[in-house]
Chains A and B, each alone.
Chain A
Amino acid sequence: MATAAPTRSWYKRNEIAITPWLFLLPAMIFFAVYVIIPIGQSFWISLHDWDGLGEKTWVGTANYERLLGIGDQNMDRKFTVSFWNNLKWLILYLLAIPAGLFIALFLNQTVTGIRFYKSMFFFPFVISQVVVGLVFSWFYLPREGLLNAVLAVFGAGPVNILGDPTLATYGIIAAGLWPQTAYCMILYLTGLNAVDPEQVEAARLDGAKGHKMLWYVILPQLKPATFIAFVVTIIGALRSFDLISVMTNGGPFGSTRVLSFYMFEESLSEFGFRMGYGAAIAVVLFFLMLGFITYFLYSMYRDEKGAH
């Protein structure tokens, strides 16, 4: 009892300074062990040759040299294909933002049953990407798929989207755009709900309407929604793995690989575990993402500073 009393009072005296750390500790430990430290470890592993089981062999920057074709070797062809596909994903995925805005504007009415329509338009987002991938690969099937049946009505087709190396990536991106558009739509619907009606009325009295109203009055007020839509779409585009794995498994002829898929393939493929090389690909992908992360964080930081 004699020792308990002073300990307690010391805690009492410093309660406000210590409590936050006690509350933070569990989350920080988990996050450090599974997220922060592994990032560093991946850098370290990328400088080695490693099959995931035995000893790591130090190879310096050899993995990167092979990947990027530094010295007297060619750039890894699979890497080049993956990188360009990543760019296609990034650019085309952004279409989800205007598409989502369009649907949100279409649905922002107060007719009976509109709530039902809103949730039905949204719900592709709730389905797992694996099922979205399956659904679309059956939709695209050359013989049994509904797409070719629809195309036949218009006298076009048949096309075998996922079997054609020039089309397959676009087919997968289209499948990915389906849930992503739904997500952007719900962000904009919420944003539209909060648009200041007085400003809209004032602009109407000044004769603004249609796309002019949208561009000069509505869109500036939707800026927070657009920012979030942009963040989640970029992240979603760079994380594209599930759809590719389910729909084409990287094929045909490796034409649908992206960096995230190629990394997985190298590290855990049936041709043996090449974790060092895989880690090097992951590091490249990480730096690609880091550019965007820095921009996101900078924007959030500005908001934080502005709030105080």
Chain B
Amino acid sequence: MFPTPLEKTSRRWQISYQVLLPLMLIIWLLPLIAVANFSIKPEADFVNGNYWGIPSSFDAFSNYGKVFFESNMPRYLWNSLFITIPTVIGAVALSCMAGFALGIYKFRSNLLIFFIFIAGNFVPFQILMVPVRDLTVNMNLYDTKTGLVLFHIAFQTGFCTLFMRNFIRALPFPLIEAARVEGISEWRIFLFVVLPLMKPALAALAVLIFTFIWNDYFWAVVLTQGPTAQPVTAGITEFNSQFRAAYHLMSAGSIVAALPPVAMFFLMQKHFIAGLTLGAVK
């Protein structure tokens, strides 16, 4: 193990490590701690210039209550959910199938198609922006959740296919050969042999895509404009103009907007990190 395990180091370093650890963490999260502190302060603290000190009274309930009951925030959260969930399902389904095709079968253009998926996943959003916006307007899907979902599914398919294909590649191939010898048809092999083995990959991909899509801002601004379809990342701008300079409310709003992926991460940590670090180890 590297660096040297703590047990084998000097007593002095052991103690300093135990002190440094929480200290580093506090410094690392300082901007966030400041915002969390903002969000539970009463408005009076900002008037009196008590910006960073201990809140003069605990106003979390009234601040967060305002976010939920006196703004469009619940609506935006709802939109985000209805954009994110269908995208996760769509992208995972499409890429499962594509990954199966590219991971199991040998045909001439296999690697070429695979590389097109990877390359497409790396292109800058801006080169797609004008045509995709135009296409969405022409399909009468501008400022709808469906318009966003369709694009997200398509774009995420690139990354998801890369992920699924590499995962399927690592499965034991004799299993599929054995199934073929038994005379099982190809789509049944997919459904009953490969799919059950892909559960960890499905879970990892689902949490990753959930986070990516929930946090998307660029496409939300390009393809939607009002509270009927905008997700929370774009809606927060409108929320902030509603409560201009009311830092206690704006920070409460931001925390609410950021929370779902954070919760997802802490609940599904193992899968999340497994997905993110795929390929980091050979």
Contact = CB atoms under 8 A, between A and B. Distances in A.
B6 interface: yes
Interface string A115-130: 0010111111011111
Contact of B262 (A28, A123, A190, A296): A123
Contacts of A35: 120, 123, 128, 154-155, 158
Given A34-B128, A268-B222, A149 B51 contact: yes
B101 interface: yes
Contact of B119 (A17, A24, A293): A293
Nearest to A268: B222
Nearest to A144: B51
A286 to B, nearest CB: 4
Contact of A130 (B3, B116, B236, B251): B236
Interface residues of B, number: 100
Contacts of B186: 15-16, 19
Interface string A258-270: 0110011001100
A27 B98 contact: yes
| Chain B facing A: main interface SS | helix
B261 interface: yes
Contacts of B98: 23-24, 26-28
A172 interface: no
Contacts of A268: 222
Interface stretch (B22-30, B54-62, B65-73, B198-206): B22-30
Interface in A194-229: 194-195, 197, 200, 209, 213-214, 217-218, 224-225, 228
Interface in A6-33: 15-17, 19-21, 23-24, 26-28, 30-31, 33
Contact of B111 (A117, A193, A241, A304): A304
Interface of B: 1-6, 17-18, 20-21, 24-25, 28-32, 34-35, 38, 46, 51-52, 94-95, 97-98, 100-102, 104-105, 107, 110-111, 113, 115-120, 122-135, 150-151, 153-155, 157-158, 161, 185-187, 190, 211, 214-218, 221-222, 233, 236-237, 240, 247, 250-251, 254-255, 257-258, 261-262, 264-266, 269, 273, 276-277, 279-282
Interface of A: 15-17, 19-21, 23-24, 26-28, 30-31, 33-39, 41-42, 45, 52, 105-106, 108-111, 117, 119-124, 126-131, 134-136, 138-139, 143-146, 149-150, 178, 183, 186-188, 190-195, 197, 200, 209, 213-214, 217-218, 224-225, 228, 235, 238-239, 241-242, 245-246, 259-260, 263-264, 267-268, 275, 278-279, 281-283, 285-286, 289, 292-293, 296-297, 300-301, 304
